[in-house]
Amino acid sequence: MERLVEVSDQEVRIDFALNCKCRANVRLRSLSTTTPIAFKVQTSSPNKFLVNPPTGLIPPSSYATLQIILKPQTQLPPTFPRSPSDRFLIKTAEFVPSSPKSTHQDSINSWFSTRPHGSTQDLKLKVAFVGPVLLLHAVRCGDLDSVRSLIKRQRPVLAEFSPGEADSLLRVATELFNSEEMVNLLVEAGLKIDARVKLESASSTVDSSKVWHQLHVAVSFDRTDEMLDLIKTREYGSLDWRDKEGRTLLHLAASKGSIGCAKVLLESGADRNARSQDGRTALYRASANGDRQMVEMLIEFGADPTITNDRGRSPLDVARDKEHKEVVMILERGKAVLMAAMRGESEHLESLLRKDATTNYRDQYGLTALHAAAIKGHRDAVLMLVEYGVDLECQDNEGHAPLHLAVEGGSLETVEALVEKGADVDAKSMKNATPLFIARVMGYDDISEFLISRGADSSLTSFSSPS
């Protein structure tokens, strides 16, 4: 049998409040194009609920709206959001009136009572209680599952809290034994907080977990000044502390678009390439969100765009999938700059740089475009990149500056160009190798002589343990 009626939702969601009537609407749509559809609503809890109208007709291809009314309740529901004891049954059938009066509600009700068993189509609706009152109660009880279910069913509920209520809700959450998870859940669901959470007074002992949660809130709402104050306390443990899903504060900043706090985190030593349990980095999250400004900033701080998630997808892949064209352009141009520098394609490189392509893109080894041009001996590309502001002392994953790689590539003129532009002739890698040491090991006498003539320290030309 074809369906007669479509319901707007399989669950009646009632915004609960104590000692007052609570209402929810259910919309019925007739799927019949020729015949009116009669309906009758029954409830498993007639002592609690009223339905208006309880019976009626829906014209062909039209709608009817039912109002479900919860009578004033003096106590909170024993279970929520789902209420297993509360249900609604909507009986429907094609209706052919025998007389004009037969369309009245009483007549329709009587008509249903004469229908043989199995001759109606029945829709079953479950009941869920939602709203700020229950959310606050669930938070106070530390009931993560209920909080999660409430937010899932009525996500805008957090926006209904006033600034003071939101601040109080967060304070309650931070005092729980599972405060970390509760705070994360509320903040990531969009809890809006205008009133700032303050540090404990200087005379009291600072709880590092509370400070971390305050950092979490500051990051969520991009409060850079507040965050700087919190970081100065040094009471938060590690800036790379992770939640149960492996996400750091930098992940949160990237997800929320909090670029000011993301920059503070990076400047304070946060791991720019930290991966959450699903393998995603902050750059991946920013790329997935299409956040051009965040992507540019993360790349500027050396975030690795080649790191993939646990499914092998890179930031560029996800940006393409979601058609974030500006982010794709940034990432593709960054890679294009690296490749053009590596190949010595000066005209192409200049064209990219004029279009504001990033010069901070790195490959999986931490090589920038300047490293690539240096090791390949492309002097013109090196000079062009330096002119566009690339850091002469930027380091790859092993601590090599571009001058180290220019020496390794054996190009005297490239080495000369870098030194003339101010490169440190005594720069050390992670293994304390200097450009002069590399030149001597590789037998480049002309480069060795040049470096010495420019002040390179001969006593630093052997490996030693990093100090």
CA–CA gap between residue 426 and residue 437 (Å, rounded): 10
Place 415 in a pLDDT band, splitting at 50, 70 and 90: very high
8-state DSSP, 312: S
Nearest to 230 by CA among 206, 254, 257, 251: 206
Q: Confidence band (pLDDT; 50, 70, 90) for 324? A: very high
The CATH architecture to which 330-460 belongs is Alpha Horseshoe (1.25)
Same fold, 5-129 and 330-460: no
- For residue 467, is pLDDT > 60? no
CA 311 to chain CA centroid, nearest Å: 18
Structural tokens at position 215: 């950092």
Continuous segment of H or E residues that includes residue 442: none
Q: What is the pLDDT of residue 202?
A: 32
421-435 mean pLDDT: 93
Question: pLDDT exceeding 70 applies to what percent of the chain?
Answer: 86
CA atoms 325, 331, 334, 338: torsion sign: negative
pLDDT score, position 426: 93
Phi-psi region of 142 (alpha: psi -120 to 50; beta: other; left: phi over 0): left
**pLDDT grade for 290, boundaries at 50, 70 and 90:** very high
For the record, the structure tokens of 4 come out as 């007669």
Mean pLDDT value across residues 239-265:
87
First-residue to last-residue Cα distance in the chain: 81
- Specify the pairing of strand 121-130 against strand 11-15: parallel
Pick the CATH number of 133-318 from 3.30.450.20, 3.40.50.2020, 3.40.50.720, 1.25.40.20: 1.25.40.20
Q: What pLDDT does 160 receive?
A: 67
* Separation in Å, CA 432 to CA 259, 365, 411, 439, 464: 35, 18, 22, 14, 6
Show me where the domains of the chain are located: 5-129, 133-318, 330-460
SS3 content of the chain, % helix, strand, coil (to 5): 45, 15, 45
Cα 268 to chain centroid, rounded: 21
Per mean pLDDT, which of 57-66, 145-154, 305-314, 330-339 is the most reliable?
57-66
Sign of the alpha-carbon torsion through 210, 213, 218, 221: negative
CB distance 48 to 65 below 8 Å: no
Cα distances (angstroms) measured from residue 310 to each of 277, 278, 428: 8, 5, 35
Average pLDDT over residues 290-310: 86
The answer, yes or no, to whether the previous bond of 132 is cis (omega within 30 of 0) is no
Give the pLDDT score at 109: 82
DSSP result, 369-388? HHHHHHHHT-HHHHHHHHHT
Q: Return the CATH number of the domain spanning residue range 5-129.
A: 2.60.40.10
Give the pLDDT confidence of 163-182 residue by residue, as tens digits: 667 777 777 776 665 566 78
C-alpha dist (Å) from residue 136 to 79, 174, 210, 241, 391: 14, 13, 19, 27, 51
| Among 102-111, 228-237, 412-421, the range of highest mean pLDDT | 412-421
| 28 has a pLDDT exceeding 50 | yes
Residue 274 has pLDDT above 70, yes or no: yes
Helices (H), 303-444: 315-321, 325-343, 346-354, 369-376, 379-387, 402-409, 412-420, 435-441
